[in-house]
Amino acid sequence: EVQLVQSGPEVKKPGESLKISCKGSGYRFTSYWIGWVRQMPGKGLEWMGIIYPSDSDTTYRPSFQGQVTISVDKSISTAYLQWRSLKASDTAMYYCVRPLTGDWYFDLWGRGTLVTVSS
């Protein structure tokens, strides 16, 4: 089965670091881009950035550039989203997504990782 399996929910304090993961299975991981989408509580969807696992070519939405880091470990078919210093405003559901083709609409979604940042 083709799927993206995300890591479990996280509860962190402001200022802490965090790395969440997304493992692709059932397909050739290095042949498809993987992106991240944020959904703040009760709000809409925001694309954060995307990475090509084969060569780690990465594009960030400008508003997320410098705020998060997207990376991959292709040896274990896993993509990551990382924060160095969390803020309360990072509280959200984070989805990893995969476009089917070189066009960046997303046919495959992970179930999401809920990140809660609270003191």
Partner 1 sequence: EIVLTQSPGTLSLSPGERATLSCRASQSVRSSYLAWYQQKPGQAPRLLIYGASNRATGIPDRFSGSGSGTDFTLTISRLEPEDFALYYCQQYGSSTELTFGGGTKVEIK
Please identify which residue in 8, 62, 75, 89 interacts with partner 1, judged by CB under 8 A. Answer: 62
Residue 101 CB, shortest distance to partner 1, in Å, is 9
In this complex, which beta carbon is closest to partner 1, that of residue 31 or of residue 75? 31
Please identify which residue in 2, 45, 76, 88 interacts with partner 1, judged by CB under 8 A. Answer: 45
23 binds partner 1 (CB under 8 A): no
Residue 105 CB, shortest distance to partner 1, in Å, is 4
Tokens 């790395």 belong to residue: 19
Closest by CA position to 20, among listed 32, 38, 1: 38
Residue 108 exposed, middle or buried by CB count within 10 Å (0-12, 13-18, 19+): middle
Tokens 């990551």 belong to residue: 80
Dihedral angle over CA of 47, 86, 30, 95, nearest 10:
-50
2 binds partner 1 (CB under 8 A): no
Binding site for partner 1 (CB under 8 A): 44-47, 59, 61-62, 95, 103-107, 109-112
